[in-house]
Amino acid sequence: MTHEETSASRREFLVNTGRIVAASALAGVAIPRVHAASDNVIRLAVIGFGGRGGGAMKNVMNVAKDSAKLVAIADINPEATKARLSSLVQEFGEGVNVPPERQFYGFDAYKQAMDCLEPGDIVICATPPAFRWVNYRYAIEKGLHVFLEKPIAVDAPTARRMLTLNEEAKKKGLKVAVGLMCRHCRARYELLDRIRSGEIGDILMMRAYRMQAFSNDVVKFAEAGVNELVYQVRHFRCFLWTGGGTYNDNFIHNIDECCWMKGDWPIKAHALGGRHYRGDAADQNLDTYSVEYTFPDGAKLFLDGRIMPGCYEEFSSYANGTKRLAVISTYKHTPAKCRIYKAQLPEKNDLLWSVKQPEQNPYNLEWVDYFDAIRQDKPYNEVERSIQVNRVAIMGRMAAHTGRIITYDEILKNEHEFAPNVDKLPMETPAPLQVGPDGKYPVPQPGILTDREY
């Protein structure tokens, strides 16, 4: 692929990002009639009924309680799943109708849950990201609309595989959403319009921070009575093959909103990262990440991540223009509290504009937009744009883990796949990643292991 072709690929998203949904090119493709039951209720199944799967279903109920119903679930953890299901039933009543015969457990449970649906129903795929392409493939075969939790790939080969599968989804006219909900934030859209109208001038530098203490990213020795494969899947953020690590899973939101405001994708990443006083922590993450992304015009995005308790915490993104400073997000994902200042410092007396409060929750808004596309039979597919940002995340992570400058072109062509046969993993099989004799897992070695990541 030539540089011109990759540059064009990076810029494809510019055509439609001014609107709430990124629409697919479906000219000439016959879109099937949306399925709904006789009472006009769309049925859903959730694959991976953990925190995000259950959370996504709660967002569905918040916006479509009378027109959507959960009818099947699939997971590998019966105890946690049943507790979460019971909580949803108490909160939403008849909108959650999942009797024991439609509760499925195991690595093949996703098929059984999707088999409970009909074409035009919706499946929420919220398993660890390693299994995203596996679930997506079966959902397309079944003719289901799909909500894919982010991230949707853990390495370059699975990113390419998702794009290949997505061509089949587009041919069938399936509506496909991806859980990068900041793209549906009305406050951020208002800020985007102001940036594009020139209020802050040309963007020269962007800064993003996610500095928090994630308790679920410190894994110790394997739990008694749980096999190694299930253990790693349950703690998916801790391992590269299951979720792409903390960088891929958590920092992707900051990267996405910054690239959105910039209107382009970076072409290379230069990074630092390290592990510090870890004690008996056994996961594969670094404690600190500091990544410098470079855009085609030379502008920079500096992303700083820290996963350490007891330190100053910040979760925000900024755009420094030739005229003014824009605050893209202030505290987590919502409320964004977007603002523009007269100069480069966020001084209270220099505030030029701020978005009105309170803001609508983007976790709910992404479902408002998704259901609208389904009900109105509008083209809707967020996979290509989501793969773009996923590749940028992989690029930054790999730069930190190898100690090399990683280019976007290299990520496009990279052949290293963490778990090539993840679609053939029975629960009793050995895990793709093996623990060492000290009870710990191999960690990134910048400057030593430079051609790939573990």
Q: Is the pLDDT confidence value at 358 over 80?
A: yes
Could you tell me which residues come within 8 angstroms of residue 360 by beta carbon, excluding any fewer than 6 positions away? 185, 186
pLDDT of residue 226: 78
In tens, the pLDDT along 44-73 reads: 999 999 989 999 999 999 999 899 999 999
Whether residue 244 contacts residue 355, with contact meaning beta carbons closer than 8 Å, is answered with no
217 pLDDT more than 70:
no
All domains in the chain, ordered by first residue: 3-182+364-382 (3.40.50.720), 186-357+392-413 (3.30.360.10)
Q: Which residues contact 38 (CB under 8 A, 6 or more apart)?
A: none
Higher confidence at residue 11 or residue 398? 398
Across 35-39, 146-150, 339-343, least confident range: 35-39
Neighbours of 319 (CB within 10 A): 25
pLDDT at 38 over 80: no
Phi/psi-derived region of residue 27, left when phi > 0, alpha when psi is between -120 and 50, beta in every other case:
beta
Q: If pLDDT is split at 50, 70 and 90, which confidence band does 438 have?
A: confident
**What pLDDT sits at residue 18?**
34
Tell me how long the chain is: 454
Task: Please tell me the predicted confidence (pLDDT) of residue 213.
Answer: 84
Q: What is the pLDDT of residue 40?
A: 81
What are 297's two structure tokens?
Answer: 């015009």
Round to whole Å and give the CA distance between 249 and 292: 18
**Residue 401 to residue 255: CA distance in whole angstroms:** 18
Say how far apart CA 284 and CA 219 lie, in whole Å.
9
CA gap 437, 454 in Å, rounded: 17
Average per-residue pLDDT for the chain: 89
Report d(CA 421, CA 293) in Å as an integer: 32
Residue 305 — φ and ψ, nearest 5°?
Answer: -125, 140
User: For residue 248, with 0-12 CB atoms within 10 Å meaning exposed, 13-18 middle and 19 or more buried, which class applies?
Assistant: buried
Closest to 132 in 3D by CA, of 105, 109, 154: 154
Model confidence pTM above 0.85: yes
Q: Which of 249, 371, 262 is nearest to 317 (CA)?
A: 262
The CA dihedral of 194, 198, 199, 200, to the nearest 10 degrees, is: 110
